[in-house]
Amino acid sequence: MLTSSVFCEMQIASRGRDSIASVASRRFAPRTQIFRESEPARHVYEVVDGLVMLYKLLPDGRRQIVELISAGGVFGVSSVPVYDCFAETLAASQVIAHDRASIEQSPELCRHISECVKRQYCSSRAHALVLGRKTATERIATFMMQCIPGRGGYNCPGPRGRNDSARIRLGLTRQEIADYLCLTIETVSRTLTALRRRGLIKIDKREQLRVNDVCRVCRMTGDH
């Protein structure tokens, strides 16, 4: 809840003709709900560090994680006066709460938020491909590659010598991975076990693993 966060008010001066905008920098503990669906959308949030998940709940209680927001991303953007999803931290996170009125009054801040939204729009299209066309193994391989900065995407440097491995922290439980990739928890566990038996990954902890051959896992995403 907001009451469990550390709240700090700051004043930032915009450039040019922009007026001084009041923003709030807030620190949230892991597994803290930032806002609920249908609450008044008074702020747009920007992640400074940490990880935030956005999710929807169906009437029967099923959950779909629609987006994962890391440092540099924004959330809480809504075309209506209320939030259209739930937002919850997965790790300890620091976020900046931009007042919606301040964004509308500040061209510089509006441009900044717009650039963040553009980047996330491209990521959302890629995630739609994952859910719509990829197999379970391809989905999980894609998810793991997303956890390895600088690899598998534009301008990927390729293998890092003979030991092309990477240790990654998933940040999500098996159930949350399933909710994000539209799979069952049994399928997620079965696929990770199969990858481990093939020597492609080593599961160190529940939310942490080592990818033993990054390029080989990258080829399993179905993108190459």
Which DSSP string do the residues of 25-86 spell out, in sequence order?
Answer: EEEE-TT-EEE-TTSB--EEEEEEES-EEEEEE-TTS-EEEEEEE-TT-EE---SSSB-SSE
Q: How many residues are given for the chain?
A: 224
Please indicate whether residue 24 or residue 141 has the higher confidence score (pLDDT).
Answer: 141
Of 181, 208, 178, 211, the residue nearest 91 (C-alpha): 208
- The model's confidence at residue 221, banded by pLDDT at 50, 70 and 90, is very high
Stated pTM of the model? 0.79
pLDDT of residue 58: 92
Q: Where are the beta strands (DSSP E) in 163-218?
A: 166-169, 201-205, 208-211
pLDDT of residue 118: 83
20 with 11: CB under 8 angstroms? yes
pLDDT of residue 176: 96
Contacts of residue 11, defined as CB under 8 A and 6 or more positions apart, other chains included, come to 20, 22
What is the distance between the alpha carbons of residues 211 and 40, in angstroms, rounded to a whole number? 42
**For the chain, what are the domain ranges?**
2-131, 134-219
Decide yes or no: CATH 2.60.120.10 for domain 2-131.
yes
Phi, psi of 128 (to 5 degrees): -65, -35
Q: Is it true that 2-131 and 134-219 share their CATH fold?
A: no
Query: For 134-219, CATH number?
Result: 1.10.10.10
User: The tokens of 80 are what?
Assistant: 């209506």
